[in-house]
Amino acid sequence: MDRNDSPQGAAQITPVSSNPGTSAAKVQVLGLAPLKERLGPRWERLSGLVHKLFETAIARVQGPHDHCIPVDELSYIVVFGHLSMAETELACVAIAKEVCRMLFGNQIDEISVRSLVAAICVPLPADRAQWGKQIETILEECGTETVVTQSAHASSREPMISIAGQVQKPSLPAMQAIAQARGAVERIGLKLALFPVWELRKNTSSALFLFPWSSAARSPVSGRRALEGMNPPDVADTEITLLNAAAACATRMREADKVCAIGVGVSYATISAFHTRIRYVTALQKIRVPSSSPVLLKIEQIPPGTPVSRIAELVAMIRFPNLRLILEFQNLNAMPELEMLVGAAGYGGPMPAHADAELSLFLAEKVVQRANAQKGFAFLDRLDSVLHTSAAYSAGVRFGAGSALSTWRLPDLDTVPDFPLSMAAAR
């Protein structure tokens, strides 16, 4: 990829010297024959476009210290200046997933994107033309391999990941993870507790959300709302700590033979920014979630005007076993028409405190309509008045939380209650 041909936003290629913190990857398409056969004579004309799309996918994850060198047909070397091995592996998976969806959809059988990742600890030559083959040799000899495949016969349109040679670090022991989270929120003047999410048709709960909270607040707060004033990297660190604690609570439920989902929030700002997303998704890769107690990950405060395609892209990036994604829109009145299938499990947001009966019903009905169109469930948070809860029940919202439903909470995270919880008993 020449300097003048770089897609907008791509890193410029300049000579650098390797250091122990430099990682590199080879990203290549496997099985080009079916694609060429399908395109026939059009391949020559369209191959340039295919290259551009591939380079755009790489450019999305590049930073100012990263470099991209094409080495073969749809094969690239990418050097990351400030990413760890785990972060580089995740960046390559993001590239591969986007390439599979963007270029091949589900119409080409068994197209794969392969990546090899390794630390580069030898000096690179000043002449960048010599980088490609030298780095490629190192990667082929000792790189960690990941293959993302888009199969026409897959039951899901989401590309499948096959990972070879990766060693995942075990998650923190349950009690240690919970203690770390409790200490993190206490340092900013908050407490930690599990709050029920109620299934409104049954007035029962088999889902608990882990929230920082203040005794002065009517409802719990989470994500960036609870962590205002902190630097974005510190917010991400705290959100990761809360994620680990939520996974630990899920493990405790499984050990007690209880069926209960555990929820936790992460801000849209963390998930949408590349480097904090890499760190958060790396943490997601490390947690172990039992099938009997899935983790409900709520992406909070999605701002008005966010493109639906961007939301769908983020959802696709953070799909993991026994993880259910919930989308919380910052402004329900501006909740967009979701004209494409996003793929989350739930859709909703907080009911505005000022909403009167008419506005509450309008917003509740809008959330239900959007969720039904996505084949997901509707939820409303901050149901703190009778008007709000009445609107949620009338509109058919499936899940709700707020002080008007109950003030029950579980501050002792080591305790495992009996499920399902009863709203009447928890008032």
Domains and CATH numbers, the chain: 3-164 (3.30.70), 174-426 (3.20.20.450)
Q: Which two tokens stand for residue 8?
A: 């907008």
DSSP per-residue codes, 158-227? SPEEEEES--PPPPPPHHHHHHHHHHHHHTTT-EEEEEE-EETTTTEE-EEEEEEE-TTSSS---HHHHT
For the stretch 61-113, pLDDT in tens is: 666 666 777 777 778 888 876 677 777 777 777 777 777 666 655 455 456 77
Residue 277 C-alpha from the chain's centroid = 7
Q: Which two tokens stand for residue 104?
A: 């091949």
**10-14, 58-62, 177-181 — which is least confidently predicted?**
10-14
pLDDT for the residue 266: 92
DSSP β-bridge partners for residue 380 = 349, 400
pLDDT for the residue 122: 63
pLDDT for the residue 145: 74
Arithmetic mean of pLDDT, 368-376:
95
pLDDT for the residue 304: 95
Q: Name the pLDDT band for 21 (thresholds 50, 70, 90).
A: low
pLDDT above 90 for 395: yes
Average pLDDT score, the chain: 78
Residues composing the chain: 427
Distance from C-alpha of 230 to C-alpha of 194, rounded to nearest angstrom? 23
DSSP per-residue codes, 336-362? PP--S----SEEEEEPPTT--HHHHHH
pLDDT above 50 for 336: yes
**62-71, 148-157, 201-210 — which is least confidently predicted?**
148-157
pLDDT above 90 for 383: yes
Q: Which of 97-101, 143-147, 307-311 has the highest mean pLDDT?
A: 307-311
For the stretch 241-289, pLDDT in tens is: 999 999 998 888 888 888 889 999 999 998 988 778 888 888 887 888 8
pLDDT above 90 for 396: yes
pLDDT for the residue 35: 66
pLDDT above 90 covers what percent of the chain?
Answer: 28
pLDDT for the residue 129: 61
